[in-house]
A = this chain, B = another copy of it.
Amino acid sequence: MAYKLWYWPGIQGRGEFVRLALEAAGIAYEDCARDRGVEALIADMEARTGRGPFAPPYLEVDGLVIAQVADILLYLGDRHDLAPSKIADRYWVHQVQLTIADAVAEVHNVHHPVAMMDYYDDQKPEAARAAKQFREQRLPKFLGWLEQAANANPGDWLIDHRWTYADTSLFQLVEGLRYMFPRAMAAIEGDYRSVTRIRDQVAQLPGVHAYLKSERRIPFNTDGIFRQYPELDG
């Protein structure tokens, strides 16, 4: 078994949620487009018909190809014990992941509100309006929900007494939000102490700690999903 991860090589993007779970668990994988270039990714996608992915990221193993971040994490959770085993916890960890995915989609919509396929520069006034509502209403709602979820757990982590893929995804959400909205996040982060604590715990997992210091971790940039445009930070 050797995992092949296919994702845009120049950004963290949605692929990062998969990379973090793999790195935290110490699961070996090839980050194919980083090794072979973006043309290889495009050629690979075009060659996949039938059950091909709608979009990257997708993970290939033993002839199976899985796309959609939440589906990939569901698979990895089942196969590598990155999710709790109790039935109730199993659907809960997935629910948390799907809610984080909703937050990520809304973040993307902030800088691409009216034309997903065009440039940010072509939709700056609309993005400013979208950013204001995101910062003022949606950001506290998402963080508040995660905080409540964390506080409801008797363990140190989001769901269980050990980390799951929901924790690595929470880490990435917080990191991305800090990069994109440094002022807005600095102003409200103190209200979400459990979220921040879990973020710190994930950063200290040996696999994640090593990954973040390696060149495998692509720095945030303004081609990704989280983008630092100061005019959107209020």
Q: Which residues of A contact B (CB under 8 A)?
A: 49-54, 64, 66-68, 70-71, 74-75, 87-88, 91-92, 94-95, 98-99, 102, 105-106, 109, 113-118, 126, 129-130, 133, 137-138, 141-142, 145, 148-149, 151-152
Residues of chain B within 8 A of A94, CB atoms compared: 68, 70-71, 74
Q: Do residues A145 and B74 form an inter-chain contact, with CB atoms below 8 A?
A: no
Q: Please, could you name 10 A-B residue pairs with CB atoms under 8 Å apart, sorted by A?
A: A50-B148, A50-B149, A54-B145, A66-B92, A68-B95, A70-B98, A109-B109, A113-B113, A115-B133, A116-B138
Known: A148-B49, A148-B52. A113 touches B130 (CB 8 A): yes
Q: Do residues A130 and B115 form an inter-chain contact, with CB atoms below 8 A?
A: yes
Residues of chain B within 8 A of A74, CB atoms compared: 74, 91, 94
Residues of chain B within 8 A of A102, CB atoms compared: 54, 105
Chain B: minimal CB distance from A126 (Å): 5
Q: Do residues B52 and A66 form an inter-chain contact, with CB atoms below 8 A?
A: no
For the complex formed by this chain, how many copies does it contain in all? 2
User: How far is A74 from B129 in the complex, measured between Cα atoms in Å?
Assistant: 36
Residues of chain B within 8 A of A116, CB atoms compared: 106, 133, 138
Q: Which of A49, A116, A117 has its CB near the most chain B CB atoms (within 10 A)?
A: A116
If A71-B95, A113-B114, A116-B133 are given as contacts, then 7 extra A-B residue pairs at C-beta distance below 8 Å, sorted by A number, are A52-B148, A54-B145, A64-B88, A67-B99, A70-B70, A113-B113, A114-B130
User: How far is A230 from B92 in the complex, measured between Cα atoms in Å?
Assistant: 40
**Interface majority SS (helix, strand, loop, mixed), chain A:** helix
Residues of chain B within 8 A of A92, CB atoms compared: 51, 66
Q: Do residues B64 and A91 form an inter-chain contact, with CB atoms below 8 A?
A: yes
Residues of chain B within 8 A of A50, CB atoms compared: 148-149, 151-152
Q: Which of A91, A106, A117, A145 has its CB near the most chain B CB atoms (within 10 A)?
A: A91
Q: Do residues B54 and A67 form an inter-chain contact, with CB atoms below 8 A?
A: no
